[in-house]
Structures are given as C-alpha cells and as structure tokens.
Amino acid sequence: MLSVSDLSQPLERYIEHTLLKPDATEAQIIAHCREAAELGLLAVCVSPAWVSTAAQVLRGTSVLVDTTCGFPLGSETTTIKVAEAINSLRLGAGEIDMVMNIGALKSGLYDWVQQDMAQVAMACHARGAKLKVILEMGYLSDAEKVNACELAADAGVDFVKTATGFGPGGATIADVELMRRSIRPGMGVKAAGGIRDLATALAMIEAGADRIGTSAGASIVRLAREL
C-alpha cells in the first residue's frame, strides 16, 4: 500500500479542504480557510455564496478557492451554469466543480451533455480557471461512467470528479481506477465523497486520484505529519 513517503508531491498538495454544508456559517468558513492556509493545503472548496469571503481570507496565500456549479443535481440549463461559473470566478474562485447533467447522459443525449460541459469549460479557460466535472458515479453503470469520462475529455474538461457527497455513494477505488483508464493524458481525477481518513486518501491516490476532496483535510494532514 502507498505510504506518505511514496507520494510524488507533499500530501497537502492533493487536498481540497471542503466545506459545503448548507448550514455552514461565516465564522466556520473563515476558520476553515485559515486552517487550510496554516497547513498549506492546495485548495478550499466552498459554496458560491462564500467565494468572496474565502478569497478575502486567503488573499496572499497559495491556497486556491474552488467552488461548485450546478450543484448538487446538475439539472440547471447550460446558460445558468455558465453564468454561475463566471460569477464565481469574478468573486475570486480559481477552479469550478460542475455537476454533469446526469439525466441527459442516461437519456443518451450525448451532444447535450458534451456541450453543457464544453460551454462551462470555455468560460473557465477564458478566465484562466480550471473546470472539474462531477459525474456522480453512484447513479451510473460502468458503461455510462466510461462514456461520461470520454464526453468530458471531448469537452475540454480539466478533471473528472467522482461524487458530490450529496448523492448515492461516494468515491470508490474501482471508480477512480476506471476514471483514470477512461480519460485522456493531461486530464486529472478528483476523488471526493466519504474520504475521511489518511488510509482512504492514500488508497485513492494510489488508484489514480490527483486531487482529494474532503471535509477532513486538516485531520488527514495532521495525522500524516505525526507518522
């Protein structure tokens, strides 16, 4: 099994410290961001309403501000998703995690799914930001998972992501391995959903994850530093 010393970069640089609870308060968001900065984590992931707050707290640090789009269902129109992404980038986000239109994929409406991703990807790239698309793997068959990864690649997406954390199931080793096999070189995989300890985070990285989205980022890193 992979150990912390085997990693190609510090564990902190994999972690997107996530706080998406609907009842998260301003004080909790601020504390969350300060914790990420103190530990040197790669990014925080907060809801769009808190992007401006996070950006202010993290100004002058290396911590990225990541936020969601079309979250958690993915069923907004493409126009709304593009507008939401642009607004979040204007407020200080550097990366966007957008939920795929799951129903459209399962309906075989592949052009719709691809264009939905592509329009948001273009909006992000035009503003120097990266797009991750959440596939919500718990709803999909293996064939649909592969199809979704291929559509994301065709759309110019930067990362595919396992789950919102609000749907059925979370990140699994099998899904991360499948995603890694199905995407193109240069794309990344973000594992998220139910990753709460160091062993699970390392297993996801060993399976092919480039990013770990977790609300337990601080405790995972602190434990790793004690080893």
The one catalytic residue among 158, 161, 175, 210? 161
Q: Using N-to-C axis directions, what is the helix angle for 78-91 and 51-58, rounded to 10°?
A: 30
- 161 labelled catalytic: yes
Structure tokens at 226: 């004690």
* CA–CA distance, 20 with 45 (Å, rounded to integer): 7
* CA–CA distance, 56 with 63 (Å, rounded to integer): 11
The one catalytic residue among 97, 116, 158, 210? 97
Residue 4 half-sphere exposure toward CB, CA atoms < 13 A? 15
Q: Helix (H, G, I), strand (E, B), or coil: what is residue 215?
A: coil
User: What is the DSSP track for 117-175?
Assistant: HHHHHHHHHTTT-EEEEE--GGG--HHHHHHHHHHHHHHT-SEEE---SSSS----HHH
- 106 labelled catalytic: no
Q: What angle do CA 224, 225, 227 make, to 5 degrees?
A: 70
- 145 labelled catalytic: no
The one catalytic residue among 81, 132, 145, 190? 190
* CA–CA distance, 69 with 80 (Å, rounded to integer): 9
Kindly list the catalytic residues.
97, 161, 190
